């Protein structure tokens, strides 16, 4: 089973994270930010990843350090769990409707980190979650996992729905990209390395 565990401790956060890529979507997430817990749960369920996250962060400041550091830890764990990437599909794209909102994720497990993000207009806060942290999380995750990641909300009115569509689409696109294809020998690259 492709899995990894990360322990990350700074002056701002303390994180214990475990992921299994070949799971069933079981998760236990406690970050201190209820809306973000909801998003990480949706990510795991739709990606079919088994995911455990425990985070104690300086939420008295705000949620920035916790969300960004979880992105860092998740990216590192994801990269470690992928191992040598032999036999994976590598690319994944997914459109996801959430009521009136539609989001699109396209990604490449290339080892080359990049983020293009267009979330459109959003209200500043959902619950206690600063909505601009969605981009911060995606950047931290992509850069630490070595993923080229494009995320776009095509349209929608409700900010909760827009962000939910992003996280669900991310799970689905990653599930496609990490899937093993028995026809692929080694890594899926003409260069021979990823």
The per-residue pLDDT for range 120-149, each reduced to its tens digit, is 999 999 999 999 999 999 999 999 999 999
pLDDT at site 9 = 98
CA atoms within 13 A on the CB side of 35: 17
> Is the residue at 33 inside a domain?
yes
In a domain, 152, yes or no: yes
What is the band of 193 on the pLDDT scale with cuts at 50, 70, 90?
A: confident
The residue range of the domain holding 171 is 3-178
Q: Which residues pair with 15 in a beta bridge?
A: 8, 55
Considering all CA atoms of the chain, what is the largest pairwise distance in Å, rounded to the nearest integer? 51
Q: Return the percentage of the chain with pLDDT > 70, whole number.
A: 100
Cα–Cα nearest to 170, from 92, 70, 67: 92
For range 168-193, the mean pLDDT: 91
Is residue 30 in a domain? yes
CATH code for position 115: 3.30.230.40
- Are 65 and 46 contacting, i.e. CB atoms less than 8 angstroms apart? no
Residue 192 in tokens? 């021979």
The two structure tokens encoding residue 11: 């002056």
How much is the average pLDDT of 43-47? 98
CA-based nearest residue to 101, from 26, 47, 151:
151
DSSP, res 113:
-
Quote the crossing angle between the two packed helices 64-82 and 34-47, to the nearest 10°. Answer: 20
Q: Residue 190's pLDDT band (boundaries 50, 70, 90)?
A: confident
Mean pLDDT, the chain, integer: 97
Structural domain count of the chain: 1
Q: Which pTM was predicted? A: 0.96
Residue 188 within a domain: no
Q: Is 41 helix (H, G, I), strand (E, B) or coil?
A: helix
66 falls within a domain: yes
pLDDT at 187: 85
At residue 141, the pLDDT reads 98
Q: Is 151 a domain residue?
A: yes
Answer yes or no: is 190 within a domain: no
Q: Is position 115 within any domain? A: yes
For 71-92, the pLDDT digits (tens) are: 999 999 999 999 999 999 999 9
């Amino acid at each position: 089973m492709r899995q990894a565990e990360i322990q990350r401790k700074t002056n701002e956060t303390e994180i214990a994270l475990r992921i299994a890529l070949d799971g069933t979507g079981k998760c236990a997430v406690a970050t201190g930010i209820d809306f973000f817990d909801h998003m990480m749960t949706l990510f795991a369920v739709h990606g079919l990843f088994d995911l455990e996250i425990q985070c104690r962060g300086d939420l008295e400041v705000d949620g920035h350090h916790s969300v960004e550091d979880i992105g860092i830890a998740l990216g590192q764990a994801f990269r470690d769990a992928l191992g040598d990437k032999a036999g994976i599909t590598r690319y994944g794209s997914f459109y996801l409707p959430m009521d009136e909102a539609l989001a699109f994720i396209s990604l490449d497990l290339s080892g080359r980190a990049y983020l293009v993000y267009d979330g459109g207009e959003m209200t500043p806060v959902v619950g206690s979650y600063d909505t601009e942290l969605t981009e911060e999380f995606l950047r931290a995750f992509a850069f630490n996992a070595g993923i080229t990641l494009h995320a776009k909300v095509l349209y929608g009115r409700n900010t909760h729905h827009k962000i939910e569509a992003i996280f669900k689409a991310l799970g689905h696109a990653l599930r496609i990209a990490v899937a093993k294809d028995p026809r692929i020998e080694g890594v899926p690259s003409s260069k021979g390395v990823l």
